[in-house]
């Protein structure tokens, strides 16, 4: 069975770091999706790939997303401060 994987990478120290990360992912079969985006002065690039999965890995239960995690709460607090 095939599965699509997707991730967004950023270059917190500018383009050289982003280029290095993109190069590493390209060598591992990832492809860039769309163009480079910017947020708060940082460049971002979406990457995707298709991988084959075994039947056993498809039977694993999905993990529950905890909407009350500390990271989620901190993000919500920062968003409220910006508004």
Counting Cβ atoms within 10 Å, is residue 23 exposed (0-12), middle (13-18) or buried (19+)? exposed
Number of structural domains found in the chain: 1
At residue 61, does pLDDT exceed 90? no
At residue 53, does pLDDT exceed 90? no
Provide the pLDDT for residue 54. Answer: 79
Provide the pLDDT for residue 2. Answer: 87
Containing structural domain, residue 68: 2-82
Inter-CA distances, 15 with 38, 40, 73, Å = 11, 14, 30
Question: Could you read off the pLDDT of 3-34 as tens digits, one per residue?
Answer: 899 999 999 898 999 999 999 999 999 999 99
């Amino acid at each position: 069975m095939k599965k699509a994987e997707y991730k967004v990478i950023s270059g917190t120290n500018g383009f050289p770091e982003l280029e290095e990360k993109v190069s590493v992912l390209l060598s591992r079969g990832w492809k860039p999706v769309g163009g480079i985006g910017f947020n708060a002065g940082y460049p971002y690039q979406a990457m995707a790939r298709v991988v084959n999965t075994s039947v056993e890995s498809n039977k694993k239960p999905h993990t529950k997303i905890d909407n009350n995690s500390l990271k989620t709460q901190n993000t919500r607090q920062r968003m409220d401060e910006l508004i």
